[in-house]
Amino acid sequence: MNFLRSFPCVPLAAPTTSAQTGLRTLSSSAVVCGRDKYFKISKYARPIDTTVYQAGDDVPRQTIPADGHKYPKYAYEPMFFKRQNRGLYAGLQRRASNLCSESGNKTKSFHLPNVVKAKLWSETLNKLVCTRVSTTLLRNVDREGGIDNYLLKEKPARVKTIGIKGWQLKYDILKQKELNERSQGSDVPIYHILESGKKITATKEKLLELLFPYVYRENYEPISQKSYLRDHSWLTMEELVVKLEERGFDFSEITV
Amino acid sequence: MKSTSFKCTCIISQHSPGHVLACTSCSRICSLIQFHLFQIDSHLKFPNTNEINQNLKHTIPFYLTAEQSFSWLIQSTLSKCHVTSLLLFFSKLQTSLRPISITSTMSFKTAAKRGQFDLDRYVGNLRVKTYKEFAKHSRLPTIPAPIPTLRKDERLIGEAPIVAGDLAYIVSGKHKGKISRVLLYTRDNDTVLLNEVTKNVVIPKQYWAANQTSHVLEYPVPIPRKFVRLAAKEKDEKGNVSYVVAEDLVFKEKYYDDRLKRWVPRRFVKHHENIEIPWPSPMSEPKDDQYSTLTEDVYNKTHELQTVAKSPFPKSVLNELRNPYSKFKKRELTEGQARRLNAPQMPLSVEQKIYLAKKAQTPVKKLEPLSEEAKDLIGSRMAEHLAKIKNPLLLKHLEAVSQKTTPEFQRVLNEIEGKQD
């Protein structure tokens, strides 16, 4: 493999020579070095539930999460070697082989991926991500130029090998990117843009807090914070803004 | 695996007429023992509580389950409590130490059952031995030993072939050839008690029955059912009495027996099915006592629906009658539940957005019917090709193939037609 790496990058568009000298194999092998190994993962992943539930549907068998799902569902979670859910393993799993004696007795032996602890700097999140990683991932991250680029690559192989941890980081990064894009040219982060063009600088939690006194007053009996959140915490930013607008809320303090 | 045990410390204090039992951790177990001690006390009236305290240590640490303590309670109350039996009780408690191990996923009830005594776990001779060992505590030594109970799967199912009041012919043993009346049939150990198979037993005065006058009592000995056969008395026209002994029985259609107040099958002698052996009348008529419901109460109508406007039940009872949490009830998702079940979507990356924007710009491919020119061209090419073929079989084959349409081809055709509509 190493001697293949030492070859200079051969241009792919050389149809005349490739057939004769086998250059094509050489050039593709150079690509193989950085290829994500995902074949096992796609084989051993369970299908996820992609049903979009609506009010009035039958209650499904699965338990309803109390606070809802925080992250999107990941379709390539393998059914074994679960520690890869907690780190960035680049799709590496435990491999098995047989030690074969001269008399033909086979002894199973297992090979774990080379895993180290690492702190990776995320440009978008502006913080260190401390996880266990496989050394293969460190090489891949170097090649991609940072953990963000590594995670945000959209090739199917990359999506399959980043694992749950990577998938969640990816979601965080993309959300942060959206936020950054929205609040460009502003000193404070902008969480929502109203139809009128005004930009809301309050988080969803803050909006919920602002709505609470209105809902409290509307109810005949006093309601607790808990029951209020049970009925309102799942509302989207847009819906909360609409609710506040209906009640004549003055947005001047939380808009730019 | 987490292992815990319940350590109870009994403290016998002297300040009360009874003996107060205090427990450091588990009140339930100790309350039973307390009850036990009170029973002893009320029964015997200890002259001096110091007598116990001298013999017992002040604190007795032991491990036991509630069931264990309860069984000891019964046993020792049967064997006439006095101080020595009480001491025995505590010494037995100490010998039967059994720590209860509970795994994190196991309920206390399940854990407590794990190491408990269960006769069904013993088989063969060990079962008999264990049963006898346990039965010792529940009877006087002079009373004949009971026969071990059968395992649940070995027990007789369905109608009992022999009941109290029947005649039984003994086929084996010391009393072989006797015909006697059955006093009791026990399903648990498949035995019968017979009127004439008894043993003289000496009974201490404290165990005498209400109208007993002698220390010696005739006590029936249990006989396994396999050693007896059902017998029936027969009287002919001349008044001669003869007996019919049934080796085996067959049960036939059921009828309502007014004496027994229930539906019972008719029983016949096997292979002589013209001989019916009627069920005996019950040995004793059921008597009314303080707990029995009177006949007039049964027929008395105590509740009547007065109006449809008002519910006959209080509102709070309705949920108990119709379980709102039943798993058979279909329930619908609320808005909040539906939202919580739906996971958020992964935002699109820049590349994906660009790709989708480009895709939106490119016009959608439209399927249109072939033009006349194209049809002509295809027709002429096909005719050329067919003209070259000389083999009639191949031509036939091509003809047959041309009649067939694949689903995909059909779908495209439909799409074209549908678009034209």
Q: Which DSSP string do the residues of B15-37 spell out, in sequence order? A: SSSS--EE-SS-HHHHHHHHHHH
Judged by a CB distance cut-off of 8 A, whether residue B327 touches chain A is no
Cβ within 8 Å, pair B339-A71: no
State which H helix or E strand residue B397 sits in. helix B392-403
CA A99 to CA A169: how far, in whole Å? 39
Tell me: pLDDT of B4 over 90: no
Tell whether A8 and A90 lie within a shared domain.
Answer: no
Which residues of chain B make contact with A182, given a CB cutoff of 8 A?
none
Would the CB atoms of B347 and A178 count as touching at under 8 Å?
yes
pLDDT of residue B24: 35
| Nearest one of A40, A105, A48 to A72, comparing CA atoms | A48
A245 and A160 part of one domain:
no
From A167's Cα to the closest Cα of chain B, the distance in A is: 9
Among B337, B344, B352, the residue with its CB nearest the CB of A69 is: B344
Domain co-membership, A92 together with A216: no
What is the β-pairing status of strands A127-134 and A192-193? unpaired
pLDDT score of B79: 41
Number of other CB atoms surrounding residue B24 within 10 Å: 14
- pLDDT at residue B161, as a whole number: 93
A137 within a domain of the structure (yes/no): yes
- Average pLDDT for residues A210-223, to the nearest whole number? 95
pLDDT at res. B41: 37
| Pair A149, A101 in one domain | yes
Please name the residue of chain B whose CA is at the shortest distance from the CA of residue A173.
Answer: B347
Give the residue from A235, A237, A213 showing the smallest Cα distance to A225: A213
Position B33 confidence tier, pLDDT thresholds 50, 70, 90: very low
Kindly report each contact of residues A140-144 with a partner whose C-beta sits within 8 Å and lies 24 or more positions away, as own/partner: A140/A34, A140/A36, A140/A90, A143/A34
Residues A91 and A110 in one domain: yes
Check A72 against B333: CB less than 8 A apart: no
No. of H helices and E strands in chain B?
Answer: 13, 12
Name the residue range of residue A10's domain. 2-33
The whole-number average pLDDT for the span B271-286 is 91
Q: What is the pLDDT of residue B418?
A: 79
The verdict on residue A115 lying in a domain is: yes
What's the number of CA atoms in the CB half-sphere (13 Å) around residue B152? 4
Q: Do A59 and B351 count as a contact with CB atoms less than 8 A apart?
A: no
Q: How many CA atoms lie within 13 A of B323 on its CB side?
A: 6
Domain ranges of chain B: 8-114, 136-276, 372-420
Does the CB of A61 have a partner CB in chain B at under 8 Å?
Answer: no
CATH class belonging to B136-276: mainly beta
Give the Cα separation of B338 and A56 in Å (integer): 9
| Closest CB from A52, A53, A174 relative to B349 | A174
Are A162 and A47 in the same domain? Answer: yes
**What is the predicted pLDDT for the residue at B290?**
86
Considering the domain boundaries, does residue A158 fall inside one? yes
Residues of chain B found within 8 Å of residue A59, distances taken between Cβ atoms: 331-333, 337
The residues with which B44 forms a beta bridge, in sequence order, are none
Q: Say whether both A29 and A103 belong to one domain.
A: no
Across the range B396-413, mean pLDDT stands at 90
Dump pLDDT digits (tens) for A96-136. Answer: 999 999 999 999 999 999 999 999 999 999 999 999 999 99
Query: For all residues of chain B together, what is the average pLDDT?
Result: 77
In the chain, the amino acid numbered B408 is E
H and E: helices and strands count for chain A = 11, 6
Q: Are residues A176 and A80 in the same domain?
A: yes
Answer whether B333 sits within 8 Å of A57, measured CB to CB: yes
| ipTM surpassing 0.85 | no
Q: For residue B261, what pLDDT is reported?
A: 87
> What is the reported pLDDT for B421?
53
pLDDT (average), residues A147-175: 94
Q: What percent of chain B has pLDDT over 90?
A: 40
Greater confidence (B98 vs A170) lies with: A170
Helix axes A204-218, A237-246, angle to 10 degrees: 40
Gyration radius from chain B CA atoms: 42
pLDDT confidence bin for B103, thresholds 50/70/90: low
Residue A75's nearest CA partner among A171, A165, A159 is A159
Boundary (domain end) residue, out of A153, A180, A207? A180
A202-209 mean pLDDT: 96
Between A and B, how many CB-CB pairs are < 8 A? Answer: 74
Would you call B349 an interface residue with chain A, using a CB distance cutoff of 8 Å? Answer: yes
Clarify whether residues A114 and A76 are in a common domain: yes
> How many residues are there in chain A?
256
Query: What's the pLDDT score for residue B384?
Result: 96
The CATH number of residue A91's host domain is: 2.30.170.40
What confidence tier does A5 reach under pLDDT thresholds 50, 70, 90? very low
Confidence of residue A153 (pLDDT cuts 50, 70, 90): very high
Same domain, A139 and A78: yes
Tell if the CB–CB gap between A55 and B335 is shorter than 8 Å: yes
pLDDT in tens, B329-374: 888 999 999 999 999 999 998 889 999 999 999 998 888 888 999 9
* pLDDT band with cut points at 50, 70 and 90 for residue A142: very high
Which H helix or E strand runs over A19? helix A15-21
Interface test with A, best of B328, B335, B342 (most A CBs within 10 A): B342
Residue A94 falls within a domain, yes or no? Answer: yes
Phi/psi at A53 (nearest 5 deg)?
-85, 145
Count Cα neighbours of B100 within 13 Å in the Cβ-side half-sphere: 23
pLDDT of amino acid A128 = 97
The two tokens of residue B264 are: 């019972």
Q: Tokens 């003994």 — which residue?
A: B170
CA of B1 vs chain A CAs: smallest distance (Å): 22
Q: Tell me, yes or no, whether A68 and A17 share the same domain.
A: no
Out of A116-120, B170-174, B208-212, which region has the weakest mean confidence (pLDDT)? B208-212
- Interface check for B210 against chain A (CB to CB < 8 A): the answer is no
Residues in chain A closer than 8 A to B343 (CB atoms): 69, 71-73
Q: Choose the weakest-confidence range: A90-99, A229-238, B100-109.
A: B100-109
Q: Per residue, what are the HEC states of B112-148? A: HHHCCCCHHHCCHHHHHHHHHHHHHHHCCCCCCCCCC
Which pLDDT score is estimated for A40? 65
Which is nearest to B179 in space by CA: B116, B228, B144, B217?
A: B228
pLDDT confidence of residue A231? 92
pLDDT band per the 50, 70, 90 thresholds, residue B90 = low
Share of chain B above pLDDT 70, in %: 74
Strongest mean pLDDT among B15-19, B43-47, B252-256 = B252-256
Instruction: Tell which wins on pLDDT, B242 or B27.
Output: B242
Quick one: which H or E segment has residue A117? strand A115-122
Number of domains in chain A: 3
Q: What are the structure tokens assigned to A50, written together?
A: 């992609």
Q: Residue B148: is its pLDDT beyond 80?
A: yes
Write the residue in A59, A68, A154 that is nearest to B339 by C-beta: A68
Rounded mean pLDDT, B168-175: 95
Q: What is the predicted pLDDT for the residue at B381? A: 96
Give pLDDT, residue B107: 78
pLDDT tops 70 at residue A76: yes
Contacts of residue B351 in chain A, CB cutoff 8 Å?
154
Selected residues 234-273 of chain B with any CB under 8 Å from a CB in chain A? none
Q: Using alpha carbons, select from A190, A197, A131 the residue that is nearest to residue A165.
A: A131
Same domain, A250 and A137: no
DSSP secondary structure, A212-227, as one string: HHHHHHHSSS---HHH
Beta bridge partners of B224: B191
Residue A172: C-alpha distances to residues A72, A148, A169, B344, B347 (Å) = 11, 10, 5, 12, 10
pLDDT at A2 over 60: no
Q: Does A64 touch chain B (CB under 8 A)?
A: yes
Q: What is the pLDDT of residue B10?
A: 37
**3-state helix/strand/coil string of B154-181:** HCCCCCCCCCCCCEEEECCCCCCCCEEE
Among residues A133, A154, A180, the one where a domain terminates is A180
Confidence of residue B380 (pLDDT cuts 50, 70, 90): very high
The residue with greater pLDDT, A59 or A40, is: A59
Mean predicted confidence (pLDDT) in B59-86: 42
Domain boundary among A180, A213, A245: A180
pLDDT class for B94, splitting at 50, 70, 90? very low
In a domain, A38, yes or no: no
- Per the CB < 8 A criterion, the answer to whether A53 and B335 are in contact is no
